[in-house]
Each structure stands twice: as C-alpha cells, then as structure tokens.
C-alpha cells in the first residue's frame, strides 16, 4: 500500500523508491530457475513451450515473470515463485510478532497481533499459485459478458504450486494514464469503482490487492485487464448485505443505522464511547460519500483518505474490539480504488453506480 500512496501523504522521493521496490527485484540465477521449473513442471519443462524467454521481463517480491510461446503460437506469461519465499514470509512475520509482544510500540487499540495474523494468512494465499489459478478462473466466469473487464485464461496444465502460466494480454498499468485526457481518466476511475461494487455486493468475491500493476488498460478495447489473483477474498452474504446497508445509510445520513449494521458486522461491540462512535461513523461516511453525492464527485477536492487518516489516532486509543477479519482486505481494496481516482484527478458520477448495484441486490437478493 505504501508504494501507491499519493505524494501528499509521503514524499515524492520515497514514493518513487517504493514504486521501484514494487516493480523490481533481483532475478534468480539460471541454475536456481531451472531447478524451480523442473520441480514444478518436470525436467522436460522446456519442451512444453515453443519458445521461452529466459530473461524475465519483470520481478517483484515473490517471483519473476517471463514471456513464452505455446506450440500453437499462443503468447503467454509465466510467473515463477522464488524458492523458499513462503517460509521466509512466515519467519519474518513470526519474528515481528515476537518483537512487538515485548516492545510497547503500538497502542492496544491497533490490535496489531490480529493484523499480523491475517497478513500471514493472506501472504500464504499469495504464494499458493494453485489457489490463484482457481481464483482467476472464478473471476473470469463472474465477469463474463461485462464489456469493461477482461480476465486472461489460465493454463492449468502449465501451472503448479509455484508456477503460473496465463494468456498474454495487451495494455498498460492504469497509473500510466495519469496525464491522459480527463475523459479517459474519468472512464478508468469509473470502471475501477464499478468493479469494487460488483465484487463486494454482487459477487461477494474480491481481488483485494490494489497494486496498480495488477490492472492494465487497453486503449483499443477500452477494457481493464485483471492480472493477479493471489489476494482474493470470499465474503459471506451476511457481511456483504450489512455493508451494503452501511453505505446506503450514508446516503440518508442515518447514524444509528450505520452503528447497528456495524455491530452486526463486528466493527463495533456495542459498548464503545461516544468519541469512538463518532469517529467510526465519520470514517464510514467518508467511504460512502462518493456514492451518496448527486453531483460528480471530485476525489482530489474531497481528499477522503486524508480525513480518514486524521481519525486513526482515535481508533488506536478507543477501539474496544478488533475489526472483522474481512475488513482488512476490504479497506485495502477500497482505499486503493479511492487513491487511484485521486491520482487520476477523477471527477465522476459515483451514485448511479451504487444505485444500480443496490437496486440489483434488492431485486435479486434474498430479502
């Protein structure tokens, strides 16, 4: 998340450093790479491709990515995980948890132990490429027929726990369009918000990593291509429905309805102080504000993330109960979408998006 922050939150220099960390890492030596491929696809792995570019075109914290061509001429990309990265993640988080347990650096209200436990689970998901392949196929089916999105095909016969092969797609990372004409920037922002709402309230299934390089925009097809499904979350219908009512209550400025639904979801215990309830409702209203506005919503002018940031100290001091597990990934997803719209200087009509999803839910839901 640090690598996609707006420069008003962190310095431009630090943002550039973190962006480089997000996009670049060291490559595996050839012998190590061959061993990893042989262990996952068999010693004859090279024979399964017509052509395989041994020099990766990208690398990040978990692995590196190569261009390849199948025997039928199909262009693919092959993601190969670094050996031992899953064990290293577990060890690092365990060590951090141990340090924080004896050093009083974080307020109790931050519930850092739960946050680290969830981070450990989510990072384990990201190192399981079999799970990612299944998630990608599921999202491809869910978005079938949507004119705004495309999910590349996965080749499971060329995938395993630590290798993932998928169809090559055209496009550029969505943050490459920050200097594009306003009409295009608005279109991209609107599509990303539409995706958030469909995932949260219609599919109850979310890709929760907001890294902008996970989303490519194709200027020819005008589609956003979804590329990474390591961080996916399945929501319960109850959680989704209650969150829908929370956002709906923002439009009607119904404070008590926000509190009641938040208690059902586990955000609140029902025994919070007034200062905590005020901060919680204020934060929720910031999230719901774009979807309640009758006017086009200016993400830069409203600076929603800055207002939420000012409330974090109150949460750290006055939160009684840890937030529900789903909220960590949900907040990451929503904040990523809002930050993107801010980076794009988007001014867009958000309320019709929410009204469409809400009406669909009311018509086709169980209530």
Q: What is the pLDDT of residue 286?
A: 87
Rounded to two decimals, what is the model's pTM? 0.85
Token output for 122: 């989510």
Maximum distance among all alpha carbons in the chain?
Answer: 66
Q: Among 35-49, 111-125, 244-258, whose mean pLDDT is lowest?
A: 111-125
* Side-chain-facing half-sphere of 293: CA atoms under 13 Å: 16
How do residues 265-287 score in pLDDT, each as one tens digit? 999 999 999 999 999 999 898 88
Q: Are strands 223-226 and 149-150 parallel, antiparallel or unpaired?
A: parallel
Spatial neighbors of 104 by CB under 8 A, at least 6 apart, are none
Residue 303 confidence class, pLDDT cut points 50, 70, 90: confident
Q: Which strands, in side-by-side order, build the sheet including 215-218? A: 149-150, 223-226, 215-218, 172-173
**Percent of the chain with pLDDT strictly greater than 70:** 87
* Side-chain-facing half-sphere of 347: CA atoms under 13 Å: 8
Q: Which residues pair with 206 in a beta bridge?
A: 233
Measured CA to CA, the distance from residue 277 to residue 272 in angstroms comes to 6
Residue 153 confidence class, pLDDT cut points 50, 70, 90: very high
| Overall average pLDDT of the 191-204 stretch | 95
Measured CA to CA, the distance from residue 259 to residue 264 in angstroms comes to 9
Highest mean pLDDT among 33-37, 57-61, 264-268, 352-356: 33-37
Q: Among all residues, which ones are annotated catalytic?
A: 209
Measured CA to CA, the distance from residue 165 to residue 163 in angstroms comes to 7
Measured CA to CA, the distance from residue 46 to residue 63 in angstroms comes to 19
Other beta carbons within 10 Å of 36: 20
């Amino acid at each position: 998340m640090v690598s996609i922050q707006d420069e008003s939150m962190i310095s431009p220099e630090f943002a550039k450093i973190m962006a480089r960390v997000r996009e670049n890492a060291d490559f595996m030596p050839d012998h190590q790479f061959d061993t990893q491929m042989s262990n996952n696809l068999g010693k004859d792995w090279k024979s399964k491709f017509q052509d395989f570019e041994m020099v990766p075109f990208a690398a990040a914290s978990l692995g590196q990515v190569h261009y390849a061509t199948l025997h039928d001429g199909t262009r693919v990309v092959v993601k190969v995980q670094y050996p031992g990265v899953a064990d290293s993640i577990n060890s690092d988080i365990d060590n951090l948890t141990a340090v924080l347990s004896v050093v009083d650096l974080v307020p109790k209200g931050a519930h850092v132990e739960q946050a680290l436990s969830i981070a450990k689970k989510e990072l384990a998901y990201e190192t399981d490429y079999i799970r990612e392949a299944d998630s990608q196929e599921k999202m491809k089916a869910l978005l079938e027929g949507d004119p705004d999105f495309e999910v590349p095909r996965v080749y499971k016969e060329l995938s395993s726990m630590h290798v993932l092969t998928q169809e090559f797609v055209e496009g550029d990372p969505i943050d490459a369009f920050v200097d594009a004409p306003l009409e295009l920037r608005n279109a991209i922002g609107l599509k990303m918000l539409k995706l958030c709402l469909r995932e949260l309230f219609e599919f109850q299934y979310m890709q929760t990593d907001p890294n902008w390089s996970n989303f490519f925009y194709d200027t020819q097809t005008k589609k956003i291509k979804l590329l990474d499904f390591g961080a996916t979350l399945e929501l319960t219908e109850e959680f989704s429905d209650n969150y829908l009512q929370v956002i709906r209550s923002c439009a009607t400025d119904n404070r008590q309805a926000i509190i009641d639904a938040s208690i059902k979801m586990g955000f609140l215990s029902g025994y919070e102080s007034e200062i905590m309830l005020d901060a919680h409702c204020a934060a929720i209203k910031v999230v719901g504000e774009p979807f309640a506005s009758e006017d086009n919503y200016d993400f830069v002018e409203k600076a929603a993330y800055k207002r939420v940031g000012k409330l974090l100290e109150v949460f750290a001091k006055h939160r009684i109960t840890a937030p529900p597990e789903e909220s960590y990934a949900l907040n990451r997803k929503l904040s990523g979408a809002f930050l993107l719209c801010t980076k794009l200087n988007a001014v867009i009509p958000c309320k019709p998006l929410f009204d469409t999803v809400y009406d669909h839910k009311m018509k086709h839901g169980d209530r």
